[in-house]
Amino acid sequence: MSTLYTQSENNVYKTYAYLLGFVLLVIGIGWMMSWYYGNVIILYIALGFSIITSLYSYWNSDKIVLRLTKAKAATEEEYPELHRIVENLAISNGLPKPRLYILEDAQPNAFATGRNPEKGVIAVTTGLLGRLERAEIEAVLAHELGHIGNNDILISSIVVVLVGTVVLIADFFFRTAFFGRMGGRDKGGIVILVGAVVFIILAPILAQIMKLAISRKREYLADSTAALTTRYPEGLASALEKISSDPNQLKTANDATAHLFIASPFRGKEKKSWFRKLFMTHPPIEERVKALRAMDSEGS
């Protein structure tokens, strides 16, 4: 029978399975490039560029995100209860207490960032503090602390490197295959041309789908972590329902930071079809709530 622990383990395994598939995709692309041109130097250049830019983003992730969201430091004097809850959760998880920030926004939401637990940051909106009950706030904070403890920022940085590599190589392949500036080998004329077109179109799309799939699995894992930490899955289930049903738009929401939040900050753009779900940054709220309540019934 599935338990809180097996749910968490399954999400970890699935995430690393996606990462393995991602790495194999990049290796396959590299092999195709070397086969076509007889030279893999361009692959190394693209990979190096992706790693350098992603390392910069990873190293400065907290500063970049806080600047983009216009979050302000939440002092202990102004938000004593928030600090108490986070400190207790951090102790329970054996983690350093993260820095706390506030977004002046009516939409209830929250996110975590920081390159490692020592540099962890949790930000919540004033809407979340005003609308949710204490147990629900605690569950949301446990979820965000789960992201920090599960090294999700590191994993997302690795994924960004892989996606960036795929996109750069696809773009390079497009330019050289069609305009002949690198003089690729004659490997079959029209067959190679057709293969190049399919590759150019599908590789970046597949990479993006895999990136989003990993992001969704990390959300499930953070949900499981929060349920294990608080021993009250219903708290997070109830919080997610309130967050998703709130009609307010997050003022600072954008595509660059949307995946960080506990629930999509965009309202009225929910994707329902199976195809559209492939491009969602978060799992559907109803599926997360169902999974959490299944955990609750198992523990009761």
The 3-class SS string of 231-265 reads: CCHHHHHHHHHHHHHCCCCCCCCCCCCHHHECCCC
Rounded distance, CA 290 to CA 283, Å? 11
Q: What is the mean pLDDT of residues 276-284?
A: 75
pLDDT digits (tens, 9 = 90+) for 141-183: 999 999 998 888 777 766 766 676 677 667 766 666 655 544 4
Rg of the chain, C-alpha, whole Å: 21
Q: State how far the Cα of 38 lies from the Cα of 186, in Å rounded to an integer.
A: 11
What is the average pLDDT score of the chain? Answer: 79
Calculate the alpha carbon distances from 170 to 51, 83, 118, 201 in Å: 17, 47, 37, 8
- How distant, in Å, are the alpha carbons of 95, 108, 150 from that of 85? 13, 17, 19
Boundaries of domain holding 238? 4-299
Active-site residue flag, 144: yes
Residue type, 154: L
Catalytic residue among 9, 87, 136, 144: 144
**Domain tally, the chain:** 1
Task: Please choose, from the candidates 176, 164, 147, the residue with its C-alpha nearest in 3D space to the C-alpha of residue 259.
Answer: 147
185 vs 49, more confident: 49
Regarding beta strands 99-103 and 110-113, do their DSSP bridges make them parallel or antiparallel, or are they unpaired? unpaired
Residues 248-267 have pLDDT tens digits of 999 988 877 888 899 999 87
Query: What are the E-state strand segments in 45-109?
Result: 72-73, 99-103
Sheet harboring 99-103: ordered strands across? Answer: 72-73, 99-103, 121-125, 110-113
pLDDT per residue as tens digits for the range 41-51 = 766 766 666 66
CA 38 remoteness from chain centre: 36
Instruction: Judge whether residue 85 has pLDDT over 50.
Output: yes
pTM of the model: 0.77
Q: Which residue has the higher pLDDT, 294 or 168?
A: 294
Bridge partners of 121, per DSSP, are 99, 113
**Residue 13 buriedness (CB in 10 A; 0-12 / 13-18 / 19+):** exposed
**Which residue matches tokens 């637990």?**
117
Residue 297: φ, ψ to 5°: -70, -30
List, as one string, the DSSP characters of 106-175: SS--EEEE-SSGGG-EEEEEHHHHHHS-HHHHHHHHHHHHHHHHTTHHHHHHHHHHHHHHHHHHHHHHHH
Percent of the chain surpassing pLDDT 90: 39
Rounded to an integer, the average pLDDT of 195-214 is: 73
Q: Give me the pLDDT at residue 196, please.
A: 59
